[in-house]
């Protein structure tokens, strides 16, 4: 479920012009969709001595700010200040 959330947030940021994808770190072991691949790794989670490590899926998506990011955030902050001013009146 966490991987789906990461992919969804990435797509929302990209679609709103706030981020660009720089790198998806993966190992093509499992396929989540046509765009993203998930790798499995062994995490050493042992409740009992002698228990086996549990394989976990992992995805790491590296995003960068778009050129318009600061402009969009400033416009959003200005709009919020305007709305807060109207509520006080």
Q: Which CATH number fits domain 2-88: 1.10.10, 3.30.110, 3.30.750, 3.30.930?
A: 3.30.110
CA–CA dist 28, 59 (Å, integer) = 11
Task: Locate the domains of the chain by residue range.
Answer: 2-88
- Number of Cβ within a 10 Å radius of residue 21: 15
CA–CA dist 75, 15 (Å, integer) = 17
CA–CA dist 59, 7 (Å, integer) = 9
Q: Give the rounded percent of residues in the chain with a pLDDT score beyond 90.
A: 0
Q: What is the dihedral of CA 64, 67, 70, 75, to 10 degrees?
A: -130
Higher pLDDT, 35 or 42: 42
Average pLDDT on 75-83 reads 87
CA–CA dist 36, 54 (Å, integer) = 22
């Amino acid at each position: 479920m966490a991987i789906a959330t990461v992919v969804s947030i990435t797509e929302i940021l990209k679609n709103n012009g706030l981020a660009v994808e720089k790198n998806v770190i993966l190992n093509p072991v499992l396929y989540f969709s046509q765009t993203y691949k998930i790798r499995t790794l062994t995490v050493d989670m042992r409740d009992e001595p002698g228990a086996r490590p549990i394989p976990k899926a992992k995805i790491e998506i590296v995003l960068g700010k778009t050129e318009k990011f600061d402009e969009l955030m400033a416009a959003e902050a200005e709009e919020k200040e305007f709305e807060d001013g109207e509520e006080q009146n």
